[in-house]
Structure 1
């Protein structure tokens, strides 16, 4: 209260704040998914290229997925990949295949119909996901009507580099996301994928609010010997900027996200029943029941739904059942980035960003396309040339599938080698930055300096008590300095600068545990 403004007699109350400002911790696990969705519209409003915050998978379904038709119709298919069975002269050396009669058939996708974002969001929420941002850069494109060649890397022409780059750029106006994820980046060419990753890292470095989680092209069906070529290509295409803001995981994971009810005969041969009939009802071994079912489907003379016809074919034909199992296995092989976003969210909620998101399982992961050994992981975890570490996802007998790596791409940096260190620093920096906004234009004097020091020290003390900083005492864990002669000169004050110096001892993971044993002579009691 300004006493000079009091003009008339009376009683006046002057309230004073007993407590200083406090630092409100920022959210640490808010991924932003950038990619293609079934649709992007709600109540007549388009959400294409609009970063949209969701809090549950139900919200994602409402805004970005097809609405379900009324019963008894089947639920709408949110993801509808197309596959072909292509007869081969001999046993295929690459890719998935099956034996029908005496002939080998490769099971090959139409690359134009392969997308990952929908199932990646499902995987995120299965692993404990919460708040997230969705940047839909478009809807699914048209099918090509033909499969890829056996062993060929899937490149979806409907997935455009500029679409994804623009989607990432839209996040420049969003301060809340702490992770950038582009599951469909691996459907680009190697060169375009590299360009996108470099753009993401540069934006992360500029904004200092988020990291990027990358998947590696070739991780879906790696060659047991030549998989190292995919690793080398990834490292060659990530550039050298902003590496401490990036983390990569390898290989892809086989999941149980999609169930048998999500796949049926419409996912074969672009829905052409005539091409499926020779496989299920061959002239050499006719199956009258299958023939009757296929005839009803082709002539639309039945009253059953697609799922009911599919169930009938499953019961009538072992071949159809086997085909569906193969396709289900393929569509369930997903990039791990969505699952890792969920793992990080769960770890943050239970402990904090200072806990490394490793030595934990990914809910829904049931298989791996390649089982890496300790010796194979060595070159992934430590790269003496570029220093670009890649985190392995491995299978252990008795333990199952575990995330077995906790490094950023900047593996040679003593400061920024670990994901947990990078993310803890983002958490501390952004929390203190937002709290310090309250002191912009305040008098640059000792009272303000002491208030800022007390506010930040109180926040860091609480983080230390939670285990986020190491040290036997608070003085060992952090220090905060602000004042004339310590962080500022008289000239700084004249120029309007208030410099705050914060030092923290961040917790680092025990990545290598060495136990030493030595024999000794027996001693008498």
Structure 2
């Protein structure tokens, strides 16, 4: 207060308690990809990170699902056909650009997802997925402090796998070098293939191409998932070239009794003609009732669209675990929702190299267990050889502690660099860490075992530091690590009675 010059009573209030540190949000992913629209009223959201909290908001600002198009090319002799109809042997092949962000968002919210950011880098009119566009989308997150995860689930849809790896290394660089307050969740390119596939080992290739920088800020999952996101009602004859579909159905018609052929032919001939919504729906239901091959085509199409990379599902699981158990709980031994099966079944022996490879680039497995369902069965970062940053929850807990204390300490910038400030700062950090310890976020039977805070002249600072305006604080924390391997010893003993 100012100098007292007028006689009277003056009130002086003194703070009895130090400032408090507020725990930052830990589960706010940022998704980068293509959407139907990107608009908020009359304002474009293209290449602008935009926060949403539900699928309803995604529909409002970014639109709905793409309309995938498929072809039915005939296969040559010796090739494995997806469908056989009389003399025709065909496969179902997607001809449109594989935009999957919409389906991935359904998986995210279906597995416990909450608030997130969307960066739309283009619409469904794009002729292909662009690696440069995805990288530009990553760069837009530089000014956003809230996101704690970065995902580009459509990167695996790039035609050139080398471009996919370039996007993923850019994600790691963004998380571990530019920001250092978020992690990247990566997908294995062609992760629906078995590691013994004749075209090559997809996991080995991922490890070789991902580089060796900032691996502790990334995690990866294998294999892809056969989901139940796309249903029968989402598909119809509109997803196919009408002439090709007609030719296939005409082949099936030849096997029908002659007296029924005219009625069925009448339905087939409607394909490619102009119809309103009710007529299209009626024709689709009629074809499903009278044509087994049509049902087979739709089933195969649904299987292709439902084969999704697991990163968005994992972001949802991270969010759910953070909200129910805390960021210090490893996001593993958790069931994955809306999943029918993993694209590849993995045994214990096959997981050994995924989990503990010589390179340290651990790939977390998603496995099916009899009677338990589909579970995430790994909790390691890509830096598996590091004792400090081997586990995902350790890295994410440390990010949370660092950001929370950093934000709270900003209140002391330009305060006098003296003992009173040091005590206040130390008390604030100790109170915050004590609260985390009580909730199970730090290891130790007592607070003294779980953490310690050091600040002061002769402890963390020299006289030169004070002259230069530097206040140094050292915080030591014992982070909770998961019980990844549980050993139970059995031994026989002598009969006692």
Whether TM-score is above 0.5 comes out as yes
CA-to-aligned-CA distance 1:351-410 (integer Å, 9 cap, x gap): 1111010011111111122101111111111111x2100001111111111101100000
1:438 aligned to which of 387, 408, 411: 411
CA–CA separation in structure 2 for the residues paired with 1:499 and 1:141: 53
The residue aligned with 1:140 is 124
The residue aligned with 1:335 is 309
Q: 404-413 vs 216-225, which deviates more? A: 216-225
1:495 aligned to which of 452, 468, 476: 468
8 Å CA contact 2:246, 2:271 repeated in 1: no
Deviation at 1:222, TM superposition (A): 3.6
Q: Equivalent residues in 2 for 1:338-353 (5 A)?
A: 338-353=312-327
**2:93 paired with 1:108:** yes
CA–CA separation in structure 2 for the residues paired with 1:132 and 1:430: 18
The residue aligned with 2:345 is 371
The residue aligned with 1:356 is 330
The residue aligned with 2:438 is 465
Question: What SS does structure 1 have at the residue aligned with 2:121?
Answer: strand
CA–CA separation in structure 1 for the residues paired with 2:303 and 2:156: 19
CA-to-aligned-CA distance 1:144-188 (integer Å, 9 cap, x gap): xxxxxxxxxxxxxx1111101110011111111000000011122
8 Å CA contact 2:40, 2:61 repeated in 1: yes
CA–CA separation in structure 2 for the residues paired with 1:30 and 1:343: 12
The residue aligned with 2:378 is 405
Q: Equivalent residues in 2 for 1:232-243 (5 A)?
A: 232-243=204-215
CA–CA separation in structure 2 for the residues paired with 1:368 and 1:309: 34
The residue aligned with 1:33 is 31
TM-score, normalised via structure 2 length: 0.95
Q: 244-253 vs 14-23, which deviates more? A: 14-23
Q: Equivalent residues in 2 for 1:241-320 (5 A)?
A: 241-269=213-241, 273-282=242-251, 284-285=254-255, 287-300=261-274, 304-320=278-294
CA–CA separation in structure 2 for the residues paired with 1:14 and 1:268: 79
Question: What SS does structure 2 have at the residue aligned with 1:281?
Answer: helix
2:157 aligned to which of 174, 184, 187: 187
CA–CA separation in structure 2 for the residues paired with 1:41 and 1:262: 24
Deviation at 1:223, TM superposition (A): 6.0
Does the C-alpha gap of structure 1 residues 300 and 203 become closer, same or farther in structure 2, counting only changes over 3 Å? closer
CA-to-aligned-CA distance 1:97-143 (integer Å, 9 cap, x gap): 12223542111111x42112111111111111111000001112356
8 Å CA contact 1:281, 1:290 repeated in 2: no
Q: Equivalent residues in 2 for 1:168-247 (5 A)?
A: 168-188=138-158, 189-206=160-177, 207-222=179-194, 224-226=196-198, 229-247=201-219
Consecutive unaligned residues of structure 1, counting only runs of 5 or more, are 67-77, 144-157
The residue aligned with 1:164 is 134
How many residues align? The count is 490
Consecutive unaligned residues of structure 2, counting only runs of 5 or more, are none
CA-to-aligned-CA distance 1:183-209 (integer Å, 9 cap, x gap): 011122221122111111111112111
Does the C-alpha gap of structure 1 residues 396 and 91 become closer, same or farther in structure 2, counting only changes over 3 Å? farther
Question: What SS does structure 1 have at the residue aligned with 2:51?
Answer: strand
CA–CA separation in structure 2 for the residues paired with 1:458 and 1:59: 38
CA-to-aligned-CA distance 1:471-516 (integer Å, 9 cap, x gap): 0101000000111111111111111111110000000011111111
Q: Equivalent residues in 2 for 1:502-521 (5 A)?
A: 502-521=475-494
CA–CA separation in structure 2 for the residues paired with 1:305 and 1:480: 72
CA–CA separation in structure 1 for the residues paired with 2:61 and 2:47: 13
The residue aligned with 1:120 is 104
**2:53 paired with 1:55:** yes
Deviation at 1:412, TM superposition (A): 0.4
CA–CA separation in structure 2 for the residues paired with 1:166 and 1:302: 40
Deviation at 1:16, TM superposition (A): 2.2
CA–CA separation in structure 1 for the residues paired with 2:440 and 2:99: 40
